[in-house]
Amino acid sequence: MATAYEDLMERVRDIGRLQTSLALLDWDQETYMPPNGVKARAEQIALLSGIRHTQLIDPQVKRLLDEAQTDEDDHVARTNVRETRRNYERAAKLPTQLVKDLAHTSTLAKDAWAKARAQSDFSIFSPLLSRLLELTRQKAEHIGYSAEPYDALIDEFEPGATSAQIEGVFARLRDETVRFLKRLTDSSTKPDRSILTRHYPEQQQRALSRKFAEALNFDFESGRLDVTVHPFCTTIGGGGDVRITTRYLEDFFQAAMFGTMHETGHALYEQGLPREHMFTPMGEAVSLGIHESQSLMWENQVGRSRAFWEHHFDEAARLFPKALGDVSLDAFYGAINTVEPSFIRVEADELTYNLHVILRFEIERELFNGQLEVDDIPQRWNVKMEDLLGITPPDDAQGCLQDIHWSMGAFGYFATYALGKLYAAQFFAKAKEDIPDLFDRIRANDHKPLLNWLRENIHRHGQRFRAGELVERVTGKPLTIEPFMSYVKNKFAPIYGL
């Protein structure tokens, strides 16, 4: 006879199967679904979201949680019960109709956002954004919070984190970033970034993007690479079906190359989670911040390193002879590591990227604290861009409409990008200690040592540890901005002659 724990896990796995079915519908909408399918897709996603929610809050789940017996030494069972209880308690506070309304509205909103961005017209998106905000405020009130509504949303993506805690980290990060940015800006030595805006044919970009994903050990037998407006990674069937997307801009080399490496980093994490625990918390990622640490590490610490391009630059020059035929490795390395305020977050350099995230964090917080109205977002966005980065977007497509997240209803998500930068730097510093010849291996196009290190120290644990605990266990220190600031200073100072 099955135990309460075994019965509970079978229910949890069914809920996980529904969630990945929803992910498949979402992936299809972003890649191959015809435009006129959006209304039916909204109804499909709302229906499955309601069924998933109903299954999660079934009284039998609560009964099984109360009856499940776990051995003190069985960390798998204890993790699964702890995280299932957390998921149940959050979900049980939400009316199923609200869950369905959010799913339905966000599906329509993603379509409206894509049209608004294409036309750079915020008014196309604002009605559905207003509706999403209204529904998400209801969600925050149902879940509850001790200090402010935004905390209930942040906790979904970075469990245990609060607005006040993140604000404290971001204040130090902002001050240090602005201070170092001024030194770089004032330097008379600057790379030639225009190299990246020459003509790079899409066909060759596709070949190189795939080659990079393969080099980083993305398993194409367990995943695929497609094209979307906004790159993302999604898991359809545990580590056996992980899908990534990218976008190709023929006049900007970085978009596809580093976008692909970023999403590959996400995918490597998903492919490295223990498959024997698929559809349960032990087979899922710790948090979005930790997830971002994996993508950002492969994109930046590896993909933007000189060692990586010492191996790959000659091939890039062969594929793009008109764009790179007269460019040296030194010039190219400087170009991909240019620090310069820019409008688009996903195209920002490693240093100013965090200022983009801080801007979004502050705007979202103002929205949920009642300090900002939806119609005022474009103006507020531009004011903050000028304040933090010293530039003003020429239109909304390059301003408040650039990211898909709000149309997804993913409020509380953005902070995890900057947290991920900090986690990545701290993890990578430790990896270099543990793998003394790490850059030699990268130079030789051998990324297995780093991947194996990540699998051993991070991936295999699933949700066993909270993000803060995981960082301290792996690196011996709590999260701090110092490893990141040390990394960017050591990298950019020589490029800028400091």
**Euclidean distance between CA atoms 119 and 117, whole angstroms:** 5
Least confident of 116-120, 205-209, 343-347, 422-426: 343-347
Please give the positions annotated as active site: 263
**Euclidean distance between CA atoms 427 and 435, whole angstroms:** 12
Q: Predicted confidence band at 1 (pLDDT cuts at 50, 70, 90)?
A: low
pLDDT of residue 229: 87
Residues 223 and 303 in one domain: yes
| Distant-in-sequence, close-in-space partners of 138: CB < 8 Å, separation ≥ 6 | 98
pLDDT of residue 238: 85
Residue ending a domain, among 96, 113, 144, is: 144
Residues 105 and 38 in one domain: yes
CATH code of the domain covering residue 172: 1.10.1370.30
Is residue 450 within 8 Å of 302, Cβ to Cβ?
A: yes
Whether 158 maps to a domain, the answer reads no
Tens of pLDDT, residue by residue over 361-405, are 999 999 999 999 999 999 999 999 999 999 999 999 999 999 999
pLDDT of residue 72: 85
Distances (CA, A) of 464 to 126, 318, 426, 479: 40, 46, 20, 18
Share of the chain above pLDDT 90, in %: 97
Phi, psi of 29 (to 5 degrees): -60, -40
The model's pTM: 0.95
Residues 176 and 241 in one domain: yes
pLDDT of residue 69: 87
**Euclidean distance between CA atoms 290 and 459, whole angstroms:** 10
Residues 180 and 140 in one domain: no
Whether 152 maps to a domain, the answer reads no
Share of the chain above pLDDT 70, in %: 100
What value, to the nearest 5°, has the Cα angle with vertex 462 and ends 460 and 464?
110
**Euclidean distance between CA atoms 400 and 402, whole angstroms:** 6
User: Smallest Cα–Cα separation from 457: which of 476, 439, 443?
Assistant: 476
Tens of pLDDT, residue by residue over 22-65, are 999 999 999 999 999 999 999 999 999 999 999 999 999 999 99
Residues 370 and 483 in one domain: yes
| Amino acid letter for position 23 | A
Using left for φ > 0, alpha for ψ between -120 and 50, and beta otherwise, residue 78 falls in: alpha
Handedness of CA 264, 30, 133, 400 (dihedral sign): positive
Per-residue pLDDT for 154 more than 90? yes
Residues 417 and 293 in one domain: yes
**Euclidean distance between CA atoms 271 and 219, whole angstroms:** 8
Mean pLDDT (the chain) is 96
Q: Which two tokens stand for residue 74?
A: 């069985």
Residue ending a domain, among 144, 171, 191, is: 144
Residues 103 and 191 in one domain: no
Whether 297 maps to a domain, the answer reads yes
Residues 358 and 428 in one domain: yes
Q: Give SS3 for 246.
A: strand
Residues 140 and 167 in one domain: no
pLDDT of residue 237: 86
User: Smallest Cα–Cα separation from 234: which of 183, 209, 269, 185?
Assistant: 269
Q: Predicted confidence band at 213 (pLDDT cuts at 50, 70, 90)?
A: very high
Handedness of CA 126, 353, 290, 239 (dihedral sign): positive
Whether 150 maps to a domain, the answer reads no
Residues 319 and 451 in one domain: yes
Q: Give SS3 for 349.
A: coil
Whether 74 maps to a domain, the answer reads yes
Residue 179: how many CB atoms within 10 A of its CB? 10
pLDDT of residue 254: 93
Bridge partners for 234 per DSSP: 243
Distances (CA, A) of 74 to 3, 276, 282, 347: 15, 15, 12, 44
pLDDT of residue 51: 97
**Overall domain count for the chain:** 2
**Euclidean distance between CA atoms 30 and 22, whole angstroms:** 13
Residues 403 and 441 in one domain: yes
User: Smallest Cα–Cα separation from 296: which of 463, 418, 156, 438?
Assistant: 418
Tens of pLDDT, residue by residue over 282-291, are 999 999 999 9
Residues 127 and 241 in one domain: no
Tens of pLDDT, residue by residue over 60-114, are 999 999 999 888 899 999 999 999 999 999 999 999 999 999 999 999 999 999 9
> Range of 74's domain?
4-144
Whether 111 maps to a domain, the answer reads yes
Per-residue pLDDT for 477 more than 90? yes
Is residue 323 within 8 Å of 208, Cβ to Cβ?
A: no
Whether 348 maps to a domain, the answer reads yes
Per-residue pLDDT for 218 more than 80? yes
Whether 261 maps to a domain, the answer reads yes
